[in-house]
Amino acid sequence: MFKKIDFIVLLISLLKNVNAQCGENLKSCGKQCYSPQNYVCLANDLLCPVGLKGCNGGCYDPAVYSCVNNELVYGAGLGDEEPEPEPEPEPEPQNECTFESIGYKCCSNSCTVVYTDESGDWGVENGEWCGIIPFLCNNQPKECFAEKLGYSCCNECNIIYTDNDGEWGIENDEWCGLKDRCYQKTTTTTTIKKTTTKTKTTTSTKTTTTVDESQFSEPTIRSIDEMKLVFSDEFDGDELDKSVWDVEVNCWGGGNGEKQCYVDHEENIFVKDGQLHIKAIPKGEYKLTDEEKKSCTNNNENSCGWTQSVTSGRIRTYKSGHAWKYGKVRVKAKLPAGPYLWPAIWMLPQDDVYGTWAASGEIDIMEARGQVPDAVGHAIHYGGQWPNNVFSSETASVKDVINDFHVYGLDWEENFLIFSVDEVEYFTVDLRKSFYSGKGSNPYKDIRQPFDEKFHLLLNVAVGGNYFESIGSFDYNRDTPQWTRPEMIIDYVRVYQLPRHISETKPPLSTSPPEDSKAPAIPSLDKYKLVFSDEFDGNELDKSVWDVEVNCWGGGNGEKQCYVDHEENIFVKDGQLHIKAIPKGEYKLTDEEKKSCTNNNENSCGWTQSVTSGRIRTYKSGHAWKYGKVRVKAKLPAGPYLWPAIWMLPQDDVYGTWAASGEIDIMEARGQVPDEFGNAIHYGGQWPNNDFTSKANNVSNVINDFHVYGLDWEEDYLLFSVDEEVTFFVDLRRSFWSGKGSNPYKDIRQPFDEKFHLLLNVAVGGNYFESIGSFDYNRDTPQWTRPEMIIDYVRVYQLPDHITEVKPIIPLPTTPPEDSKAPAIPSLNDYKLVFSDEFEGDKLDRSVWDVEVNCWGGGNGEKQCYVDHEENIFVKDGQLHLKAIPKGEYRLTNEEMKTCTNNNENSCGWTQSVTSGRIRTYKSGKAWKYGKVRVKAKLPAGPYLWPAIWMLPQDDVYGTWAASGEIDIMEARGQVPDEFGNAIHYGGQWPNNDFTSKANNVSNVINDFHVYGLDWEEDYLLFSVDEEVTFFVDLRRSFWSGKGSNPYKDIRQPFDEKFHLLLNVAVGGNYFESIGSFDYNRDTPQWTRPEMIVDYVRVYQKK
């Protein structure tokens, strides 16, 4: 139950080649060392935490248990406990240096204890061990830097935070500075955190995953007497209580390759004799009915339409809001019997605070395999969004889980998770550490995350899947006949919490409007004010209001047009706007058009379509509205598979990408149906977990006549109309969550409580016509009699108290000011050295650099696996070497896969032909906003070697790559000896990103060392080599690419946040596409020196 030895002491002693005996501040207990502040040594050398007592070789809490006749019994004060040991006198301080006699120097400056053994306290200076003299450290005069900065000096020596000024503590809830040579015991590494609630705002250095052992207190199952029952289901009725439990309906297989469809059938989920039954039933083939598809709760990969061989049940407390942060969960259950049955009692986060699965966590209280009758599993999942997640698990041997009921338990407190069966602990997780997997971006800012948020409960029986990969695969015909009882039977579910942890259960939001829901009359125009209009009185489109979209994506609907900015497609004539579809046979965006392509989803800017057309919007001009009247007078196009639309999209994706943040279709129609148009709204969740509501309306001759299509939008409703006659009413007083995936909404009316902008377009073909047929270019385009939508006017009105400021998306041009000019490189005299690595030791300094391990290829088609091998990354003669080594075939070992830092596309399992090195200052927290970076390096020689000195954002403030930016200080091609490049990447998340770059001619970058530099100030980036400017970027502009949604609110973004440093040698990839492709057999024999040699790395910031 309890830790009985400090393994870190043993580990460091092995590294230092001395015996692990106890130093002056530790005591001995048999063969163990302990701190008397945290532990006591009892009879028979039993080591227990302070406050606990011993019984028969184990420790116990005397407030809960007693020791009677050397046996542990429940209840306090029932027997004789072992007496507390007498305190030992403190040793006298030493003032002599005794370390020289054993071959070590005494510390001249350091008073920080790294390790203690029989010789005394040890520190590190200049990378070497040195002995600390406690008396001198405690008694020599101390200076305090903090007073000069307006802070007091600390009385104690507890480091909370370290920056360039010095070491900081907190006393009396205020920052204070530690005095020079403050004598602090630090026998283990502690996590340094920046506390933003204090008044000090200096930059901190954050470390990552180490648990603070010095404050370790042993977890224990808390007595139920201290807690209050906050939730229970004893299953006393005759059916499932759906006010508590919602039933999931989907065929996805949980992303695990499972073979069931979860359904809401009474044969799968039922209550009988005071017990809940969740049963898997073989079906051969099962597909959700059309009615079930409407209530499908997860449509990942469009799986609501999948066929599976078994039906089963999965229920959860998610929709009812029964979710808890900390507490005691107990579920009494008998597990199913049969091969490849996978019962589970588990928890998922109520809100994805840290990102989608598994970044926000998962807690598996119990999972089991139906063919293994004497074992259950416990697990937690965490670390990052799939596939950058990891898990920790434990198997518990429990007798006959199939035939007997057992109580499966979780005790969850702020600092630990304890998993138990029948009140016996089997798995304990200490939460006082970082749970970042080390792969991809770190979703966490502190220890304990993500297990510091509310989780809800789930119960289910799955079938097959990757939980059985060590055993085999599910075979329907072989396995289902062996199912003797394919059901999990639950006797009760109970949740307890400490009174201080009890929080309000948020009731579910209704997805139905109130009973008094009724369409109102169209409000009178008298109280409204005209806030926007375009009467199209000029001779061209007003581009200060409308921006023209350029893309060939097809809207995700399989449409067949390229939207272009051509006058033949979008023009104004006789006071009317024309948006026209024109057959082209084949059309592909020109290189110039690709630069202004507004949506590159699926790399569609390069697609070929058969028709060009027009789509315009008020997005960039900032003309967007929340509530009001929209009126558009238009005549619709005539011709099969023409799809005109007047519609609205959210100005900001407040609730997530389409359709979580909503869509309002004021009018859409089919060109071969002359007397009908539709209204619709889209909502519910991000695709494919979205939903929609629509209505078709019969109106005479929408093709040959002008009609006024209208929307009246108020806080509580949407009212659609044509010619001032109501066609469709939507009551907004309900939840618009689809029930699929995670709920993006916290309240009713969402997402229709944010600003939306207007769009006008004519699409061609697509899934809007799936009930009619498919577009055929040769058959249909000759029948287009008038393939254009003609708009007479667009008008928007609002009530005075709803009118808000128009905020253009791009407040400044995407080009810098006219006075933009590269400045001279700032003098070093105004700067202070804040980071340097001169590589003077004999190995890489891991306290600064973390080594990446992955085979992904950077998303660039590179051909290396980055590994943590000494042959790839080593320090020699005061220089760092990063070396690419041909391997023919290389795949990460099982041990390396555990430390793989990027699993995009499951690439940790990929095979590559070369190993190489890539290091970064990410995990050490060495990251900077503004300053000078200088790296002296010699570049590798050999075709398709790609060395790089570059920077990535410490936090993805503006979104994933490249929305949050990238700064390439130097990159080069190994077959080009006199050239290197500078670049920046920005603009939006891939594939809607952009870049700016410059190639520079420099003599012999391969054979000579050069100093590659970056000077980064608030208004510019200045790249250099050997202190000569090579590339200048003025930051006084917007860096949005114009594609997709704009991630930026201001100029300079994303280059106004901290970036960390990376050094690497890649192999091949798209950086060489203008030259050719890497060929292993042809190119590696020509590698004369496939390594980048780095002499130093230095970073300076203004004093």
Nearest Cα to 315, choosing from 262, 351, 363, 275? 262
Per the DSSP assignment, residues forming a β-bridge with 795 are 533, 631
Contact of 46 with 59, CB cutoff 8 Å: yes
85's tokens: 């040991």
Quote the Cα angle for 587-589-592, to 5°.
Answer: 150
Report the distance separating Cα 633 and Cα 724, nearest Å: 11
Catalytic hit among 218, 668, 862, 971: 668
Rounded to 5 degrees, φ, ψ at 8 are: -65, -35
H helix runs in 173-306, sequence order: 290-294
Catalytic hit among 663, 852, 862, 1091: 663
* 244-270 burial code (b ≥16 CB/10 A, e <16): bbbbbbbbbbbeeebbbbbbbbeebbb
Report the distance separating Cα 546 and Cα 808, nearest Å: 11
- Whether 425 is a known active-site residue: answer no
Dihedral angle sign, alpha carbons of residues 525, 531, 532, 538: positive
126's tokens: 């200049």
Contact of 1089 with 940, CB cutoff 8 Å: yes
* 28-60 burial code (b ≥16 CB/10 A, e <16): ebeebbbbbeebbbbeeebbbbeebbbbeeebb
* Backbone conformation region of residue 987, classed left if phi is above 0, alpha if psi is from -120 to 50, else beta: left
Q: Which amino acid is at 1070?
A: N
- Strand pairing report for 788-798 and 624-625: unpaired
Contact of 945 with 974, CB cutoff 8 Å: yes
Number of C-beta neighbours around residue 641 at 10 A: 29
Instruction: Say whether 984 sits in a helix, a strand or coil.
Output: strand
List Cβ neighbours of 462 (8 Å cut-off, separation of 6 or more): 253, 254, 256, 258, 260, 312, 314, 341, 342, 343, 344
Dihedral angle sign, alpha carbons of residues 729, 735, 740, 742: positive
- CA 128 to chain CA centroid, nearest Å: 40
Contact of 1043 with 619, CB cutoff 8 Å: no
Instruction: Say whether 1080 sits in a helix, a strand or coil.
Output: helix
390's tokens: 């990891």
Report the distance separating Cα 842 and Cα 879, nearest Å: 9
* Backbone conformation region of residue 770, classed left if phi is above 0, alpha if psi is from -120 to 50, else beta: alpha
Rounded to 5 degrees, φ, ψ at 13 are: -65, -35
Nearest Cα to 347, choosing from 403, 399, 417, 400? 417
* Backbone conformation region of residue 466, classed left if phi is above 0, alpha if psi is from -120 to 50, else beta: alpha
Report the distance separating Cα 438 and Cα 472, nearest Å: 30
Q: How many CA atoms are closer than 13 Å to the CA of 898, on its beta-carbon side?
A: 4
- Which DSSP state fits 146? G
The length of the chain, given as a count of residues: 1103
478's tokens: 């072989």
Report the distance separating Cα 18 and Cα 10, nearest Å: 9
Contact of 72 with 80, CB cutoff 8 Å: no
- Whether 668 is a known active-site residue: answer yes
Report the distance separating Cα 980 and Cα 1017, nearest Å: 23
- Which DSSP state fits 591? H
Helix (H) or strand (E) holding 112, with range, is strand 112-113
The residues annotated as belonging to the active site are 663, 668
